[in-house]
Each structure stands twice: as structure tokens, then as C-alpha cells.
């Protein structure tokens, strides 16, 4: 039986090395994880007072959507943190790709009076709507 020889393709080796290096860089470039011990309550859980919006700028209407006269509502699920900022917005009912993106960017700017439990600020899941109407 003759031994099998493997020949490495330099392009494959270079691509594999580059992919390995970039994957490590991507991990380093990510936002640091939120505190893993932070409990996120449901907005209707017993003993939880609801978060209240205190700053809610209007969303940007994309030129394409305005030209097509697309209007309606994007439904999002967000986490309102214990300090009243928005985290992890997710579109749960889409309207239009551009308007969905604008809705996500808009709610990231919203500020809340956070929900409370036993008098202490807590993080909660909240469903929010962002409406787009042609004027």
C-alpha cells in the first residue's frame, strides 16, 4: 500500500487563515453582552408597573415608501432596560423593509420611565407600534 500525499492549495490555506482571523475580530467588535444576571420581566407580570414612554421622536419616512404611498404600522418587541433605554428591538410585524429599518432605528432613540418591581427599576419586554402615514 502506497502512502497518500496531500497537497495543500495555497489559496485555500490563505482563505481559511483569513476567515479564522476575521471571525475572532468580529467577536471582539461586538457590543459587550448585557449583564447576564439582569432579569427581564414581562410587561404584564404580577407586581410589575409598566414602563412609560417619556421621549418618542417620530420615525423617518423613506423616499421610496413615500413615493409608493406605503403606510401602516410596524410592530416591534423591545426590552426597556432598568435605566429606561431600549435594547434588542425586533420587528414582529413587518410593513416594508425600509420602514421596518427606520422603525428599529427610531425606537432605539426612545426613552422610558422604566418599569418597577417592589419599588426598584427593572427591565421588561414591551410591544410597541411605530406608525407611518402619508401626509
Q: Is the pLDDT of residue 99 over 90?
A: yes
The domains located in the chain, with CATH, are 37-132 (3.30.2420.10)
How many Å apart are CA 58 and CA 98, to the nearest integer?
15
Residue 107 and residue 128 in contact, taking contact as beta carbons nearer than 8 Å: yes
What is the value of pTM for the model shown? 0.70
Q: Is the pLDDT of residue 105 over 90?
A: yes
pLDDT of 14: 41
41-93 pLDDT per residue, tens: 998 889 999 999 999 999 998 889 989 999 999 999 999 999 999 999 999 99
Q: How confident is the model at residue 96 (pLDDT cuts 50, 70, 90)?
A: very high
How many Å apart are CA 130 and CA 46, to the nearest integer?
27
pLDDT of 79: 96
Eight-class DSSP state of 17: H
Longest dimension (CA), the chain: 80
Q: Is the pLDDT of residue 135 over 80?
A: no
Amino acid at each position: 500500500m502506497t502512502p497518500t500525499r496531500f497537497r495543500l492549495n495555497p489559496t485555500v490555506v490563505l482563505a481559511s487563515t483569513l476567515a479564522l482571523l476575521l471571525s475572532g475580530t468580529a467577536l471582539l467588535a461586538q457590543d459587550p453582552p448585557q449583564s447576564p444576571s439582569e432579569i427581564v420581566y414581562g410587561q404584564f407580570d404580577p407586581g410589575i408597573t409598566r414602563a412609560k414612554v417619556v421621549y418618542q421622536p417620530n420615525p423617518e419616512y423613506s423616499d421610496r415608501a413615500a413615493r409608493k404611498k406605503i403606510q401602516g404600522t410596524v410592530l416591534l418587541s423591545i426590552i426597556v432596560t432598568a435605566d429606561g433605554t431600549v435594547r434588542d428591538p425586533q420587528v414582529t410585524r413587518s410593513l416594508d423593509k425600509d420602514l421596518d429599518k427606520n422603525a428599529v432605528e427610531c425606537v432605539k432613540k426612545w426613552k422610558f420611565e422604566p418599569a418597577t418591581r417592589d419599588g426598584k427599576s427593572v427591565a421588561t419586554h414591551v410591544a410597541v407600534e411605530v406608525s407611518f402615514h402619508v401626509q
